[in-house]
């Protein structure tokens, strides 16, 4: 037998998580008829998503909710209950655990908050007691103080407004608001999720379990993590290495600074960690550290929509004039290269562009040329050439609409852009800045074009700074991952 | 007489520029009836802005344009012509200069391009000849290859869509597209301009003249410069020092990298400069270097809308949960400080917020509290306290609208936010991210709220990253300016 010296200690829940995440039935305890409450929205979400098993609203004050029969207590439910979502106040959780134990519940998600994150001794004590009681009852726990599970493939959601189509991003987030924001923003940019788990104070199931789960989850292609505190450094870094050996892992640490840490401790009661040690360990584990939720979103868009990260050599459509110069500076500062337009392409343009064939460069300045079609023709030649690894389009939608005299970009134009990447197996990024116009029809045109592009699976970035930074990091991280095999 | 050892060599046009910028009449040579052409838009802009003197469209093919009598040549115009805007092709400029000389024209702006920026010997030669001929004729020149002058107070504009209200930002831009973008984006964020000068290849009037002009211009409070190349390093840095001694000066260099330089040379034929020498010299001159047009825009919003930069100690409304932690990390990383909520404020909240008075912190996590009004009450107390220099509101407009059950933010809420800064003489920044929702009414609500805030003169930033970075740099640059006296 060959001895392996990189043996990974198996995290606790590991393979069993998937079974927990496929309950036969769900009870929402603390269900509410108040349409602005989370106790309503959990039920509404499950109904709207068409969760295939029974959904049981539990609240002694309700007879029914959204057409579902309501029950006064968990124990009053006739059938088995696998998964409980708790939206009751902190004072009611121990009764709930008693009932759950009696019903043979396997998993509870505590949306319920006001535990150790308050920084008060009684809150911390209640959390310790909750840990003991659930452990003794053999019930696994997500939370407390979190939004819980979004698993569109199994028709489980946190919010009725979320997209019900599954995708391949797995996100574990200690923060519920980060989960909401990533899902919400991601939707506008073509991101879809295998699962999102908001896990708050991590009383039981924690980052180690979820990393391991996503690492082995066949539906997950890229793992994103928002982490404020870790319980066990060694087990965490082992799980991180395990996951990063299998998939790209993007880690955003909340509480990197002492001020941030102070905020994190009153958010999810997380403990401090040494920033330097953290940085080195994350890098050594093979994961990529992110600096903000926007950067995390941008990088996920790279993984989901940009296409292959062959290398740093990009063909750039540079906006116009100063925008072209800016694109060049920002590409160079992000570690990208812009090989000049090959002579063969120039020669083939000599007749069609007598005034510009020898003058145009990379980035391509649109203000040098006349009309849209020349740009796309040249870009298609560049995209097909082996000297380029990717294409970046700094595309001024508003000006294009104005120039074309239309209020919607034609679908053929979107297709043609998309094919620049897909037809050549290359990375493609589109920069669509926020509309400058206050003119309603122009504004709608830009927003519609962006939606069309996102729907076509084109990666969209809101600024050239963000696009270039992400392209640079994406290419380098993928090169590093290839090098590590 | 006291001898001064920091005597500044007077830049050439200096004080005479203002006279050039107040022409009695304007001729647009190459005026066109094609509504998509610049030769149309210059005329349309002057008409729409109500330029108070005669406007003369010049084009042998036109009898009239927009109700104005057109002339076949400059010499056919009956009255005096002070300022000519040239939209003719490069081949026609020498005839134009002859005519302008005959008419006693004082200033020509050449929108006309295809000179040295083409990189071709004939283009460079034509530019040299144009310089000689205009100089011999005693005519000052803006350009060629640029968009020219936007001077709303004197009813002169580049584009009919620009805001006709004057403000106090002076912008000299070697790039026309950067001028357009800054004016367009600035409009949505409350920026208004004293003058914007897009000056392209800088054949005659250049960065030295414009810096000196804005330094002495009583209508200009802050100077922004986009520069690709400089003609004379020593005179430039003297002018920069002269300007920075009088006003904040924000400098964006196009062509900082060798790739960017290559792009700049085919844009405005600018020469390379050593980046390190540039950085040091800009800093020593007392100006502030910017990394992108977005950063420049953001910093101008600070100068125009944020209020006094007393120091780095901020009170932060931190979004919610993970957003609060992120705000804290990003503030700390931007060099800002977040002093804890003073005990006196805590004590005064003890009765009203029994569950949170000892738990809340700075940044203030809205998810800890119930309802909007508590947040604003606490922020008002913090804003009034001497321990804070500024207030940053990471304000989730979409969620607020949802929570309040309204589709427009009430005007009183906007006023109350605004007063956090004005009532206490402190810096105030509002972060309004792009709407996540695809719901049309929510989207409109967020855009409307942003417009309301901008109209109220509140500084708006599109992300917490951008807001914190700018607040940090704004505070440090102003401290440096105060230290230099």
Q: DSSP string of A383-430?
A: HHSTT-SEEEEE--HHHHHHHHT-SS--HHHHHHHHHHHHTTT-EEEE
- The residues that bridge with A150 in the sheet, in sequence order, are A196
Out of B322, B331, B355, the one facing A259 most closely (by C-beta) is: B331
Q: Is the pLDDT of residue A5 over 60?
A: no
**Pairwise CB contact (< 8 Å): B263 & A119:** no
SS3 of chain A: helix, strand, coil, percent, to 5: 45, 15, 40
More confident residue, A405 or A240: A240
Report chain B residues whose CB lies below 8 A from the CB of A324. 263, 267
Q: What is the enclosing helix (H) or strand (E) of A224?
A: strand A222-227
What pLDDT does B10 receive?
38
**Pairwise CB contact (< 8 Å): A294 & B463:** yes
Q: Is the pLDDT of residue B399 over 80?
A: no
Mean pLDDT of B50-77: 97
More confident residue, A376 or A195: A195
- Range name among A147-161, A204-218, B344-358, B409-423 with the lowest pLDDT average: B344-358
* Closest C-alpha to B432, from B319, B355, B314, B332: B319
**Pairwise CB contact (< 8 Å): B333 & A463:** no
pLDDT digits (tens, 9 = 90+) for A434-470: 776 667 777 778 888 888 899 999 999 999 999 999 9
Percent over 90 (pLDDT), chain B: 72
* pLDDT tier at A407, thresholds 50, 70, 90: confident
**Pairwise CB contact (< 8 Å): B255 & A361:** no
What pLDDT does A8 receive?
38
Q: What's the mean per-residue pLDDT of chain B? A: 90
B93 token code pair: 């400029």
Interface test with B, best of A279, A318, A329, A437 (most B CBs within 10 A): A329
Mean pLDDT of A241-254: 97
Out of A177, A254, A325, the one facing B254 most closely (by C-beta) is: A325
Contact between residue A53 and residue A26 where contact means Cβ atoms under 8 Å apart: yes
Report the chain B residue with the minimal C-alpha distance to residue A437.
Answer: B184
**Pairwise CB contact (< 8 Å): B262 & A331:** no
Report CA-CA distances (Å) from A435 to A249, A443, B334, B395.
Answer: 33, 6, 28, 21
Q: Give A52 to chain B, closest Cα distance, Å.
A: 27
SS3 of chain B: helix, strand, coil, percent, to 5: 45, 15, 40
Q: Give A192 to chain B, closest Cα distance, Å.
A: 15
pLDDT digits (tens, 9 = 90+) for B245-292: 999 999 999 998 888 888 887 777 665 566 778 888 899 999 999 999
Report the chain B residue with the minimal C-alpha distance to residue A435.
Answer: B185
A403 token code pair: 């120039």
Q: Give B446 to chain A, closest Cα distance, Å.
A: 14
Query: Residues near B295 by Cβ (< 8 Å), separated by ≥ 6?
Result: B252, B466, B469, B470
What pLDDT does A437 receive?
66
What pLDDT does B4 receive?
36
- Range name among A8-12, A66-70, B443-447, B475-479 with the lowest pLDDT average: A8-12
Q: Is the pLDDT of residue B14 over 60?
A: no
**Pairwise CB contact (< 8 Å): B177 & A254:** no
Mean pLDDT of A132-160: 97
Q: Is the pLDDT of residue B6 over 50?
A: no
What pLDDT does A368 receive?
62
pLDDT digits (tens, 9 = 90+) for A275-286: 778 888 899 999
* Closest C-alpha to A191, from A294, A95, A264: A294
B367 token code pair: 């998810």
**Pairwise CB contact (< 8 Å): A332 & B258:** yes
Q: Is the pLDDT of residue B372 over 70?
A: no
What pLDDT does B15 receive?
58
Interface test with B, best of A118, A321, A450 (most B CBs within 10 A): A321
What pLDDT does A15 receive?
58
Q: Give A326 to chain B, closest Cα distance, Å.
A: 6
**Pairwise CB contact (< 8 Å): B322 & A464:** no
Q: What's the mean per-residue pLDDT of chain A? A: 90
By CB atoms closer than 10 A (0-12, 13-18, 19+), residue B377 is middle
Report the chain B residue with the minimal C-alpha distance to residue A292.
Answer: B326
> What ipTM does the predicted assembly reach?
0.90
In this prediction the pTM is 0.91
* Closest C-alpha to A148, from A195, A218, A209: A195
CA distance A74 to A83: 11
**Pairwise CB contact (< 8 Å): B437 & A184:** yes
What pLDDT does A1 receive?
33
Out of A185, A293, A465, the one facing B292 most closely (by C-beta) is: A465
* pLDDT tier at A11, thresholds 50, 70, 90: very low
Out of B188, B226, B328, the one facing A257 most closely (by C-beta) is: B328
Out of B319, B328, B462, the one facing A177 most closely (by C-beta) is: B319
Contact between residue B20 and residue B140 where contact means Cβ atoms under 8 Å apart: yes
Percent over 70 (pLDDT), chain A: 93
Mean pLDDT of B358-379: 77
Interface test with A, best of B295, B329, B405 (most A CBs within 10 A): B329
Out of B322, B329, B333, the one facing A175 most closely (by C-beta) is: B322
* pLDDT tier at B58, thresholds 50, 70, 90: very high
Out of A36, A120, A328, the one facing B263 most closely (by C-beta) is: A328
* E strand spans, B323-470: 390-394, 427-431, 459-461
What pLDDT does B441 receive?
75
**Pairwise CB contact (< 8 Å): B260 & A325:** yes
Report chain B residues whose CB lies below 8 A from the CB of A173. 322
Report chain A residues whose CB lies below 8 A from the CB of B462. 434, 462
- Range name among B152-166, B290-304, B348-362 with the lowest pLDDT average: B348-362
Mean pLDDT of B121-149: 96
Residue B386 DSSP symbol = T
Q: Are strands B288-290 and B314-317 parallel, antiparallel or unpaired?
A: unpaired
pLDDT digits (tens, 9 = 90+) for A381-400: 999 999 999 999 987 788 77
**Pairwise CB contact (< 8 Å): B188 & A438:** yes
Out of B118, B324, B436, the one facing A359 most closely (by C-beta) is: B118
**Pairwise CB contact (< 8 Å): B465 & A292:** yes
**Pairwise CB contact (< 8 Å): A260 & B325:** yes
More confident residue, A3 or A409: A409
pLDDT digits (tens, 9 = 90+) for A359-373: 888 998 877 655 545
Three-state secondary structure of A67-81: CEECECCHHHCCCCC
Interface test with A, best of B315, B321, B329, B464 (most A CBs within 10 A): B321
Q: Give B394 to chain A, closest Cα distance, Å.
A: 13
């Amino acid at each position: 037998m060959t001895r392996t010296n990189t043996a990974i200690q198996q995290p606790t829940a590991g393979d069993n998580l998937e079974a927990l995440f496929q309950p036969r039935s769900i009870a929402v305890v603390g269900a509410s008829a108040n349409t602005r409450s989370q106790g309503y929205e959990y039920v509404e979400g499950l109904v709207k998503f068409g969760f295939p098993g029974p959904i049981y609203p539990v609240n002694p004050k309700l007879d029914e909710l959204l057409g579902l029969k309501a029950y006064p207590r968990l124990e009053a439910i006739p059938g088995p209950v696998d998964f409980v979502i708790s939206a009751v106040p902190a004072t009611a959780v121990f009764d709930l655990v008693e009932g759950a134990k009696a019903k043979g519940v396997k998993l509870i998600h505590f949306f319920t908050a006001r535990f150790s994150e308050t920084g008060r001794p009684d809150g911390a004590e209640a959390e310790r007691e909750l840990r003991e009681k659930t452990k003794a009852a053999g019930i696994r726990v997500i939370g407390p103080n979190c939004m819980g599970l979004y698993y569109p493939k199994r028709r489980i959601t946190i919010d009725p407004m979320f997209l019900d189509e599954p995708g391949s991003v797995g996100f574990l987030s200690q923060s519920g608001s980060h989960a909401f924001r990533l899902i919400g923003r991601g939707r506008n940019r073509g991101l879809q999720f295998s699962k999102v788990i908001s896990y708050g104070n991590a009383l039981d199931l924690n980052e180690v379990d979820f990393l391991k789960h996503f690492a082995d989850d066949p539906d997950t292609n890229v793992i994103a993590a928002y982490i404020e505190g870790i319980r066990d450094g060694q087990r965490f870094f082992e799980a991180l290495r395990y996951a990063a050996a299998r998939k790209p892992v993007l880690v955003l640490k909340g509480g990197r600074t002492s001020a941030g840490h102070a905020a994190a401790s009153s958010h999810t009661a997380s403990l401090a960690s040494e920033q330097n040690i953290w940085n080195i360990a994350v890098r050594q584990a093979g994961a990529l550290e992110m600096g903000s939720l926007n950067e995390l979103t941008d990088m996920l868009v790279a993984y989901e929509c940009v296409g292959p990260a062959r290398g740093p050599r990009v063909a750039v459509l540079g906006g116009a004039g100063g925008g072209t110069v800016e694109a060049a500076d920002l590409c160079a500062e992000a570690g990208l290269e812009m090989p000049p337009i090959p002579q063969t392409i120039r020669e083939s343009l000599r007749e069609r562009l007598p005034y510009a064939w020898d003058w145009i460069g990379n980035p391509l300045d649109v203000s040098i040329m006349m009309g849209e079609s020349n740009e796309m023709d040249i870009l298609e030649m560049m995209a097909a050439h082996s000297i380029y690894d990717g294409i970046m389009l700094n595309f001024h939608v508003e000006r294009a609409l104005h120039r074309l005299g239309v209020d919607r970009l034609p679908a053929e134009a979107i297709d043609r852009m998309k094919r620049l990447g897909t037809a050549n197996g290359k990375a493609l990024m589109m920069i669509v800045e926020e509309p400058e116009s206050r003119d309603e029809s122009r504004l709608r045109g830009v927003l519609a074009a962006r939606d069309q592009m996102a729907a076509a699976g084109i990666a969209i970035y809101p600024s050239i700074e963000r696009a270039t930074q992400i392209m640079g990091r994406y290419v380098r991280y993928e090169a590093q991952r290839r090098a590590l095999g």
